[in-house]
Amino acid sequence: MPSDTGDEAKRSSTIDDEDLPSTLQRSPESARKTYAEAKESAEETYGAGERANRTAYAALKHTHEKVGDHWEPKEEKGPSDSRARSGGQDPGGETAGGVDANASKEHLYERARQLGVEGRSSMDKDELVEAVQKANDRETRKARGD
């Protein structure tokens, strides 16, 4: 009888946790696995380097959002910002640094509350995206000891 290794065993990631970016080391397994599998695939296609890293982050941003110093699953899968939506080799638009800019204002407000952003009640959606991005960057620097 043939062994039942399946595609999952073939695709298991060879990237060790210590080789992952620090924000992913502090993230749930689903985020680490998404990034690692996408990076492996991108390295097979493009070779090791910046393009493979960007591709892996793009895949991660479709399923997870950055919250403080780590990544959490998104409520709905899909592109996180205008840059991710445009896609391709030379994408247009702006990145929101892992913030799910396509989420509702209420969701962004809740993330801002969770991160202790002051003045959030008077912010519009674009201001909330920017404030959450800054708070995420601040938390990441703190976690890294920068």
Contacts 24+ apart (CB under 8 A), 86-92: 87/58
Tens of pLDDT, residues 47-77: 999 999 999 999 999 999 999 999 999 988 9
Query: Does residue 10 sit within a domain?
Result: no
Structure tokens of 96? 């929101």
Q: What is the pTM of this model?
A: 0.69
Query: Does residue 5 sit within a domain?
Result: no
Residue 91, SS3 per DSSP: coil
> 70 pairs with which residues across the strands?
67
Sequence-ordered strand ranges (E) for 1-146: 64-67, 70-73
Number of domain units in the chain: 1
Residue 102, SS3 per DSSP: coil
**Phi–psi pair at 73, nearest 5 degrees:** -60, 140
Query: Any idea which residue has 């043939």 for tokens?
Result: 2
Query: Does residue 2 sit within a domain?
Result: no
Q: What's residue 64's pLDDT?
A: 95
Sequence-ordered strand ranges (E) for 45-89: 64-67, 70-73
Contacts 24+ apart (CB under 8 A), 78-82: 78/102
Furthest-apart CA atoms within the chain: distance in Å: 65
Query: Does residue 76 sit within a domain?
Result: yes
Query: Any idea which residue has 């941003």 for tokens?
Result: 61
Tens of pLDDT, residues 95-143: 778 898 889 999 999 999 999 999 999 999 999 999 999 999 999 999 8
Domain that holds residue 61: 16-144
